Amino acid sequence: MSVPLSVALLVTLLTLLTPTTYVLLVSNKGRNDKGKGFRFGFRFRNNNNSNNNNNRDEDEDEGKRGDGRGREPEGEGGGRRRSRSASEGEEGEDEEEKQLKHLFVSGLLVVYLSKDSHLLLVNLGATFISSLFAEVFMISAFVAFANPTQGEGKGRLTTTSRGGRSIPYAVLVLGTFMSILGGVLVSLIEFLPDETSKLVYTFLAAVSILIGVTKTHGLGGWVMHRTRRRNRSGFALSPTLPRKGSGGLSVSEQFDSNWSFWQPGRGGTVFIITQVCGWCFFATSLLGLAWISKFAVNKIKSLRSVTLPTAAVMIAAQLALAGSLTFFKDSGEDSTTFPKNLSASFRLKALGKGKESWLKVAEDSLTIFLFYCPHYIVISAFLIPYLFLPVAYASSIMMGVYLPLHLMGSIGNPQLTGNRESPAFRDWVGRSFARISDRFMGGIRFVCELKPLEERGTGKAGGAGEEKYIFAYHPHALYPLGLVTFHLLPHFARYFSVRPVTLVASVIFRLPFMRDLACLGGLREVTSTSFRRALRERNAVALVPGGQAEICVAPRAHSVTNPEIVLNTRHKGFIKIALESGASIVPVLCFGEIYQLKNGISLPRLQAWTYKQFGFPIPFLPVGRFGMPIPLANEGGRPITFVVGEPLKVPKLKDGAPVREAVEATHKLYYSKVADLYEKHKEAAGYQGKRLVLEHK
């Protein structure tokens, strides 16, 4: 591999450029007394020239006073002149010697490049990148010591203050440049000649992303929100004078305390979410760099499957963190900032309470993600090994880890028997659903038309002789989590002494991880065998009679002109089983859940066809908050309303009795009760103008 002489000269020039820039910065006089910014190079040299001219004039005056002819008399003055000229000569020689050294080094670089170019290019690249790190730290130091923007006069901003507004964005651009540089270095690792170079460039990439992210979040956030803070008059605050009532703290100190590198729970919801995403990307990029270094040591040649995703994640981390700074909401008075005159024990207690509350928020957020986004976990579990590992390794993990675990989870046929059910997990799901509903979705309203158990004189002890119930849940929202949770709420136990088994679509038990969550929660597949078995063992089941066909018509509820709540009445199997077992059918209506999510791709005909062909409507893309399947709050902050109607008592069929006629009559009677229940409670639930439609398709 040979490099043209022009490329060699270019690399040499870049290598020498950084020290030159450093000299320009160091030779700068810095800011003037009024803090009007920097003036590079020229002013400093002009000042030196003026100083030399002044010294020359003074010497001439002294000479005139000495002998009247402009010559300085021999003695002390002449000795000073000779010593000064001698020192100037020595300095000139030193400058010439430095220039010769630089020329000599440049010549050696050019000659060496022409002989062994590829190794030297790698070394020069590493040197140049290291010098960039020094440059970034020096620029950061200048920015950190710059004064906050100031207003002069009565509310007028000077040119300097307007230019100061661009300083935070310059820091963000600088951090973004460092992150992109790290991504470029990672992408080039595969093409380096030896393992040592790969490790060096991996380390440089890690340093680049560390500098970029920390400077963006720490320095960029501090400068941005320090300069954006204003007093009540709307003018920038003075950095030197303390504000009245501030306890002697200067305004600049108040600026510094307004932003900190570690500030959990501050800044607003959007800021916190983007920060979590950014730091997750950052941790993922460091993990990818660790894998790259390991592969480099093991002399694995093909690294593209790891380097390119790592580079993308590095840049994504920087962009997420830089973007989060613009969403930061300065409350001005943080909950974790306390006056100095408070006792230490009080401050510790308050901090502990704040930490505990934010831990609960984090727990609830993770719970929402677990309830509504489990498919993301499934997809990530399959994609991550292929993104960060060679295909052979990722396939080995799939076959050696994932497949055995999935097969082991099928032991005992849990979707039919429920042998993996965990009562503790069921109770946690019920408590968590109630908590996240109160925090994020307007709360829960539970209405039951039955009298409580105490008033009915019915005990809570379960047994084989108990009355049997089939809880029919309507409608089938995109994510009918209410079906799983309404009977786990404490309100439910006041009216019924049974713990129903929830029956769900069989496709859930075909998916890894989602199958495990369903089994732990006691869910079973909605087949006639599991239906009859659960009703026999637990005396109660809960299901959605309309099935997934109602997903295809759910968009009609979101119509602006004519919103309709559509129930599919085609299925009659639950009516037949109720007649065979003598179980009472209890209608359950959920108001509000269908509006929490909507399908991002609404193709009703295609979805209806795919449901008939494959048992699941496709495409299926639930969308809520932030473009994710995270539920939206109901309009007007209304709570989710569960309405449990009176049980429809169904007599048990005798042997030889006509089944078809009984099923049809009971089916018609049941849906008439559902319609009456809807009309009775729709206004209280905020469903005025939303018509109930019963479709038999």
Is residue 121 within 8 Å of 156, Cβ to Cβ? no
**pLDDT classification of 103: cutoffs 50, 70, 90:** low
pLDDT of residue 143: 65
Which tens digits make up the pLDDT trace of 217-228?
Answer: 777 777 777 644
Which of 293, 312, 337 represents a domain boundary (last residue)? Answer: 337
Residue 41 has pLDDT above 50, yes or no: no
- 538-539-542-547 Cα dihedral, nearest 10 degrees: 100
3-state secondary structure 621-661: CEECHHHCCCCCCCHHHCCEEEEECCCECCCCCCCCCCHHH
Which of 337, 365, 387 represents a domain boundary (last residue)? Answer: 337
Domain check: are 449 and 556 in the same one? yes
Average pLDDT over residues 309-314: 82
Classify residue 511: in a domain, yes or no. yes
Instruction: Give the contacts of 491 (CB within 8 A, at least 6 positions apart).
Output: 446, 448, 642
Q: What range does the domain containing 281 cover?
A: 146-241+250-337
Alpha-carbon gap, residue 376 to 380, rounded angstroms: 6
**pLDDT classification of 673: cutoffs 50, 70, 90:** very high
Average pLDDT over residues 120-134: 63
Q: Are strands 598-599 and 622-623 parallel, antiparallel or unpaired?
A: antiparallel
pLDDT of residue 130: 66
Domain check: are 646 and 512 in the same one? yes
Classify residue 124: in a domain, yes or no. no
Is residue 127 within 8 Å of 109, Cβ to Cβ? no
pLDDT of residue 577: 93
- 345-354, 388-397, 410-419, 544-553, range with the lowest pLDDT: 345-354
Classify residue 109: in a domain, yes or no. no
Classify residue 77: in a domain, yes or no. no
Taking the chain, what is the end-to-end CA distance rounded to the nearest angstrom? 72
Average pLDDT over residues 530-553: 90
- 47-51, 298-302, 479-483, range with the lowest pLDDT: 47-51
Average pLDDT over residues 277-292: 83
Residue 520 has pLDDT above 50, yes or no: yes
Q: Name the one residue in this structure whose structure tokens are 């020595």.
A: 90
Is residue 437 within 8 Å of 633, Cβ to Cβ? no
Using CB atoms within 10 A of its CB, is residue 518 exposed (0-12), middle (13-18) or buried (19+)?
buried
Domain check: are 316 and 418 in the same one? no
pLDDT of residue 26: 40
**The CATH number of the domain where 455 resides is what?**
3.40.1130
Classify residue 271: in a domain, yes or no. yes
Domain check: are 328 and 414 in the same one? no
**pLDDT classification of 485: cutoffs 50, 70, 90:** very high
**pLDDT classification of 178: cutoffs 50, 70, 90:** confident
Residue 113 has pLDDT above 90, yes or no: no
Higher pLDDT: 20 or 491? It is 491
Burial 226-236 (b: 16+ CB within 10 A, else e): bbbbeeeeebb
Phi, psi values for residue 255, rounded to 5°: -60, -45
Domain check: are 561 and 433 in the same one? yes
Domain check: are 332 and 416 in the same one? no
Alpha-carbon gap, residue 64 to 71, rounded angstroms: 7
- What is the average pLDDT score of the chain? 72
- Which range, 374-378, 405-409, 415-419, 584-588, has the best average confidence (pLDDT)? 584-588
Is residue 590 within 8 Å of 642, Cβ to Cβ? yes
Token readout for 580 is 């065979």
Give this prediction's pTM.
0.54
Which element (helix H / strand E) includes 387? Answer: helix 374-388
Average pLDDT over residues 492-497: 91
Is residue 665 within 8 Å of 523, Cβ to Cβ? no
Question: How many Cα atoms within 13 Å fall on the side-chain side of residue 85?
Answer: 6
H helical segments located in 265-303: 269-297
pLDDT of residue 318: 82
Alpha-carbon gap, residue 272 to 67, rounded angstroms: 80
Which tens digits make up the pLDDT trace of 551-584?
Answer: 888 888 888 888 899 999 999 999 999 999 889 9
Domain check: are 159 and 282 in the same one? yes
Classify residue 371: in a domain, yes or no. no
Higher pLDDT: 429 or 457? It is 429
Classify residue 128: in a domain, yes or no. no
Q: What percent of the chain has pLDDT over 70?
A: 63
Domain check: are 634 and 491 in the same one? yes
Which of these, 514, 507, 518, 520, lies nearest to 381 by C-alpha position? 514
- Which range, 59-63, 132-136, 210-214, 660-664, has the best average confidence (pLDDT)? 660-664
Alpha-carbon gap, residue 63 to 182, rounded angstroms: 63
pLDDT of residue 402: 85
Classify residue 375: in a domain, yes or no. no
pLDDT of residue 5: 43
- 33-37, 635-639, 688-692, range with the lowest pLDDT: 33-37
Residue 53 has pLDDT above 60, yes or no: no
**pLDDT classification of 320: cutoffs 50, 70, 90:** confident
Average pLDDT over residues 125-153: 60
Q: Name the one residue in this structure whose structure tokens are 């990307």.
A: 281
Average pLDDT over residues 514-527: 90
Residue 230 has pLDDT above 50, yes or no: no
Under DSSP, is residue 124 helix (H, G, I), strand (E, B) or coil?
A: helix
- 39-43, 53-57, 253-257, 315-319, range with the lowest pLDDT: 39-43
- Which range, 211-215, 281-285, 557-561, 666-670, has the best average confidence (pLDDT)? 666-670
CA distances to 128, 441, 555, 689, 690 from 560, rounded to whole Å, are 61, 22, 11, 11, 10
Task: Tell me the residue length of the chain.
Answer: 697
Question: How many Cα atoms within 13 Å fall on the side-chain side of residue 180?
Answer: 7
Domain check: are 520 and 618 in the same one? yes
Higher pLDDT: 96 or 66? It is 96
pLDDT of residue 236: 40
Alpha-carbon gap, residue 215 to 271, rounded angstroms: 17
pLDDT of residue 258: 58
Domain check: are 428 and 310 in the same one? no
Instruction: Give the contacts of 218 (CB within 8 A, at least 6 positions apart).
Output: 261
Domain check: are 333 and 413 in the same one? no
Which of 337, 357, 386 represents a domain boundary (last residue)? Answer: 337
Which of these, 30, 223, 36, lies nearest to 143 by C-alpha position? 223
Which of these, 15, 20, 24, lies nearest to 106 by C-alpha position? 15
Domain check: are 612 and 502 in the same one? yes
Q: Are strands 444-448 and 640-644 parallel, antiparallel or unpaired?
A: parallel
- Counting the structural domains of the chain, the total is 2
pLDDT of residue 247: 42
